[in-house]
Amino acid sequence: QRADEPGEALAYWLGRHGRSLPKPVKRGIADAAVRLYHERSLLKYDSEGSAVRFGDVIDLTHPTAKDERQGDLFRHALDRRHRRDNPLPASLTVLAARAELMAMPVERRTEVTDPAVLGAAGMTWEALAGWRQSAMDAAAWEAIIPTMGYLALLRNLRNFDQAGVGDAVAETVAARLSDPGEVARSRVLPMRFLSAYNAAPSLRWAYPLEQALQHALANVPALDGRTLILIDTSGSMTSPFSKDGSLRCWDAATVFGLALAARAQDATVVSFSDHSQVFPAVAGESVLSAVRRFKDGGWFYGCGTETEKAVRRHYDRHDRVVILTDEQAHWHRWADVTTAVPAPVPVYTWNLAGYRVGHAPTYGNRQTFGGLSDAAFAMIPLVEAGSREQWPF
């Protein structure tokens, strides 16, 4: 998927199995290099800190360049890796433009605000920030925004506001964020939109993010039958979930649970702590609005974690149970909090905080996953298809 992954795949193989490369592995990685290696990816991913660099991949797998320009790129990647002082091939215009910018005196670099110049040199926002050697001001952001990818825009909304990016440019960003085609191509899933919403101080991003999150629901599997979704809102779920602190564990659990419910055929969403209650659905409500209603409407209880009691109270012939928790369950007379659920009914637990002691054994139809990421949405239909021998291929 990304140009650093052929090197990472090769690094794993070499570390695990040694330098003997089976031909299928060699050919597969070579095909990926041909598909992913170009001037911009070389600038972004071929760093000296990589265990296996572009030149190493080319040396070990011998990819066949798709055209003369890529052949020049492969030779230059080998020159970079082996520190050979050969001249840059004339066909590699992006690398030449980057070299010209790198030769510019530092004190003059803040003057470069032409998007065309930065784009021709393959500048990313990270590279621009390092090259300028000064804070990214509004002019710098406005110059690089046209070339930024969808996820990069999503991650930098707060930076745009802090730098004072103008409303006209912000409107173009908002239009891209809320465009259904852009959302589909990005494959961004709901938790990232909530994180961006929490991090961005300006209300000018609120509605575009709400639209984007709704479009992203197309990437969430539609569960058939009846689904019971239990969201742990005990006090321990206030612990940080994201590195930047923009999401707490219960934030992540809430957006995951409500997004899953929005796509399910028939879902029951429950907030539980010492006591539990069904969170009522509102017809036509967006997921982000539901998250706000959950957050502001007193659905975070902040007490203990009586998971078994909540399961026993709310399970009612559901086809599956999803529990989003840190597993710090209060023990009653049952050592397994899922005892009330019949054995043939699958129960999925996501442990968001990595608490050492689990609340239920993992066996049969009882699945426990450590951590929670956007990839977790695919696990439920994947596991259920496997249990029915209906494989994804």
Contacts of 335 (CB under 8 A, 6+ apart): none
What is the reported pTM? 0.76
- Residue 362: per-residue pLDDT: 80
As a whole number of angstroms, the distance between CA 126 and CA 256 comes to 30
Give, rounded to a whole angstrom, the gap between the first and last alpha carbons of the chain: 19
- Residue 233: per-residue pLDDT: 94
As a whole number of angstroms, the distance between CA 29 and CA 86 comes to 26
For the chain, count helices (H), then strands (E). Answer: 19, 6
* DSSP label of 366: E
The amino acid sitting at 127 is A
Phi/psi of residue 155, nearest 5 degrees:
-80, -15
* DSSP label of 82: T
H/E run at residue 368: strand 366-370
- Comparing C-alpha atoms, which of 155, 113, 154, 119 is closest to residue 137? 113
What residues form DSSP beta bridges with 322? 229, 348
CATH fold, domain 222-387, is: Rossmann fold (3.40.50)
Helices (H), 47-114: 54-61, 68-81, 93-102
- Residue 72: per-residue pLDDT: 97
Over the range 243-252, which residues count as b (16 or more CB within 10 Å of their CB) and which as e?
eeebbbbbbb
- Residue 376: per-residue pLDDT: 81
* DSSP label of 384: H
CB-CB neighbours of 379 under 10 Å: 14
Strands 276-278 and 266-272: antiparallel
Phi/psi of residue 329, nearest 5 degrees:
-80, 145
Q: How many residues does the chain have?
A: 393
Residue with tokens 């054994």: 361
- Comparing C-alpha atoms, which of 244, 251, 217, 220 is closest to residue 157? 244
- Residue 391: per-residue pLDDT: 67
Q: Which residues does the chain have with pLDDT short of 70? A: 244-246, 331-335, 354-357, 374, 391-393
- Residue 194: per-residue pLDDT: 86
Hey, where are the domains in the chain? 5-81, 99-217, 222-387
